[in-house]
Structure 1
Amino acid sequence: MGLQGDEETKMMRRKSSIFRYNSPLVQVTLIGLVCFCCPGMFNALSGMGGGGQVDPTAANNANTALYTTFAVFGILGGGIYNILGPRTTLFAGCSTYVLYAGSFLYYNHYHHQPFALTAGALLGVGAGLLWAGQGAIMTAYPPADRKGTYISLFWTIFNMGGVIGGLIPFILNYHRGATTAAASVNDATYIGFMIFMLVGTLLSLAILHPSRVIRDDSSLCTSIKYSSISVESTEILKLFLNWRMLLLSPAAWASNFVHCYQFNNVNGVLFDLRTRGLTNMCYWTAQMIGSLVIGYIIDFSFKSRRVRGLVSVGIVGLVGTGIWVGGLVNQLKYSRHDLPKRLDFKDNGSEFAGPLVLYFAYGLLDAMFQSTVYWIMGALADDSETLSRYTGFYKGVQSAGAAVAWQIDTHKVPFLAEMIANWSLTTLSYPLLAVLVVLAVEDDNQTDQERTFQGGCSFTSNTFFLI
Structure 2
Amino acid sequence: MRLLFCKFSFPCALKLRLFKMSFDTRLFNVIVLSCGFMLTFTAFQTMGNIEKTILDSIKEDDKTFTADGYTSLAIIYAVFATCNWLAPSFISVTGPRTAMLTGSCCYVAFIASFLLAQTELLYVVSALVGLGAALIWTGQGMYLTQNSDPDTMSRNAGLFWAIFQCSMFMGNIFVYFMFSGSTIVASTRNMVFWVLTSLALIGTVVLATLRKAPKMMEIGEAEGVSSADKELHIPEPAKDKPLMAAWHALRDSFRLFITWKMMLLSITFFYAGLVLTFYSGVYSASIGFTQAMGSESKKLVGLSGIFIGVGEVVAGALFGILASKTVRFGRDPIVIVGFIVHMFAFCTIFLNLPDDSPFQTTAESGFISASPTLAMIGSLALGFGDACFNTQVYALLGVLYAKDSAPAFALFKFTQSVAAAISFSYSSHIGLYIQLGILVCFLVLGTLTFCIVEFALRRQKKEQRSESDPALVDVSGPDP
Answer whether TM exceeds 0.5 for this pair. Answer: yes
Using a 3 Å threshold, how does the CA distance of structure 1 residues 171 and 63 change in structure 2: closer, same or farther?
same
User: Is 1:34 matched up with 2:72?
Assistant: no
Aligned to 2:325: 300
Using a 3 Å threshold, how does the CA distance of structure 1 residues 186 and 117 change in structure 2: closer, same or farther?
same
Shift of 1:26: 1.2
Q: Which moved more, 1:357-366 or 1:334-343?
A: 334-343
Correspondences of 1:2-401 after superposition (within 5 Å): 16-17=20-21, 19=23, 23-50=25-52, 52-54=54-56, 58-107=68-117, 112-173=118-179, 177-180=180-183, 186-210=189-213, 212-214=214-216, 226-227=237-238, 228-271=245-288, 272-296=297-321, 298-301=323-326, 303=328, 307-331=329-353, 335=357, 340=362, 351-383=371-403, 386-401=404-419
Q: Is the CA contact 1:96–1:122 (under 8 Å) kept in the aligned structure 2?
A: yes
Shift of 1:167: 2.3
Using a 3 Å threshold, how does the CA distance of structure 1 residues 335 and 62 change in structure 2: closer, same or farther?
closer
Using a 3 Å threshold, how does the CA distance of structure 1 residues 168 and 231 change in structure 2: closer, same or farther?
same
User: 1:200-224 CA distances to partner (integer Å, 9 max, x unpaired)?
Assistant: 22222222334x455899x99x997
Shift of 1:13: 5.3
In the aligned structure 1, how far is the partner of 2:453 from the partner of 2:41? 29
Q: Is the CA contact 1:100–1:116 (under 8 Å) kept in the aligned structure 2?
A: yes
In the aligned structure 2, how far is the partner of 1:427 from the partner of 1:15? 49
In the aligned structure 1, how far is the partner of 2:207 from the partner of 2:332? 35
Shift of 1:435: 0.7
Shift of 1:146: 2.2
Gaps of 5+ in 2: 1-12, 58-65, 223-232, 239-244, 289-296, 469-480
Using a 3 Å threshold, how does the CA distance of structure 1 residues 11 and 75 change in structure 2: closer, same or farther?
farther
In the aligned structure 1, how far is the partner of 2:167 from the partner of 2:175? 13
Aligned to 1:346: none
Shift of 1:366: 1.0
In the aligned structure 2, how far is the partner of 1:11 from the partner of 1:155? 34
Q: Is the CA contact 1:185–1:273 (under 8 Å) kept in the aligned structure 2?
A: no
Q: Is the CA contact 1:279–1:359 (under 8 Å) kept in the aligned structure 2?
A: yes
In the aligned structure 2, how far is the partner of 1:84 from the partner of 1:67? 23
Shift of 1:59: 1.8
Letter in 2 for 1:70: F
TM-score w.r.t. structure 1 length? 0.80
Using a 3 Å threshold, how does the CA distance of structure 1 residues 14 and 129 change in structure 2: closer, same or farther?
farther
Letter in 1 for 2:48: S
In the aligned structure 1, how far is the partner of 2:248 from the partner of 2:171? 40
Letter in 2 for 1:198: L
Q: Is the CA contact 2:75–2:123 (under 8 Å) kept in the aligned structure 1?
A: yes
In the aligned structure 1, how far is the partner of 2:398 from the partner of 2:175? 36
In the aligned structure 2, how far is the partner of 1:368 from the partner of 1:120? 29
| Secondary structure in structure 2 of the residue aligned to 1:180 | coil
Aligned to 1:417: 434
Shift of 1:151: 0.8
Q: Is the CA contact 1:335–1:416 (under 8 Å) kept in the aligned structure 2?
A: no
Using a 3 Å threshold, how does the CA distance of structure 1 residues 335 and 224 change in structure 2: closer, same or farther?
closer
Q: Which moved more, 1:420-429 or 1:187-196?
A: 420-429
In the aligned structure 2, how far is the partner of 1:10 from the partner of 1:387? 37
Letter in 2 for 1:19: F
Aligned to 1:433: 450
Larger radius of gyration: 2
User: 1:368-402 CA distances to partner (integer Å, 9 max, x unpaired)?
Assistant: 1111111111120334xx11110011001111111
In the aligned structure 2, how far is the partner of 1:76 from the partner of 1:269? 35
Q: Which moved more, 1:265-274 or 1:429-438?
A: 265-274
Shift of 1:302: 5.9
In the aligned structure 1, how far is the partner of 2:126 from the partner of 2:75? 6
Shift of 1:179: 4.7
Q: Is the CA contact 2:38–2:166 (under 8 Å) kept in the aligned structure 1?
A: yes
| Greater relative contact order, per chain length (Cα 8 Å cut-off, separation 6+) | 1
Q: Which moved more, 1:321-330 or 1:47-56?
A: 47-56
In the aligned structure 2, how far is the partner of 1:357 from the partner of 1:57? 31
User: 1:268-303 CA distances to partner (integer Å, 9 max, x unpaired)?
Assistant: 122333332222122112110111233455431363
Q: Which moved more, 1:229-238 or 1:334-343?
A: 334-343
Using a 3 Å threshold, how does the CA distance of structure 1 residues 40 and 388 change in structure 2: closer, same or farther?
farther
User: 1:222-260 CA distances to partner (integer Å, 9 max, x unpaired)?
Assistant: 997524122212211212212221111111111122233
| Secondary structure in structure 1 of the residue aligned to 2:331 | helix
Aligned positions, number: 417
| Secondary structure in structure 2 of the residue aligned to 1:226 | coil
Q: Is the CA contact 2:304–2:379 (under 8 Å) kept in the aligned structure 1?
A: yes
| Secondary structure in structure 2 of the residue aligned to 1:63 | helix
Percent same amino acid at aligned positions?
Answer: 18
Q: Is the CA contact 1:286–1:364 (under 8 Å) kept in the aligned structure 2?
A: yes
Q: Is the CA contact 2:352–2:375 (under 8 Å) kept in the aligned structure 1?
A: yes
| Secondary structure in structure 1 of the residue aligned to 2:255 | helix
Using a 3 Å threshold, how does the CA distance of structure 1 residues 380 and 216 change in structure 2: closer, same or farther?
closer
Q: Is the CA contact 2:87–2:410 (under 8 Å) kept in the aligned structure 1?
A: yes
Shift of 1:38: 1.7
Letter in 2 for 1:246: M
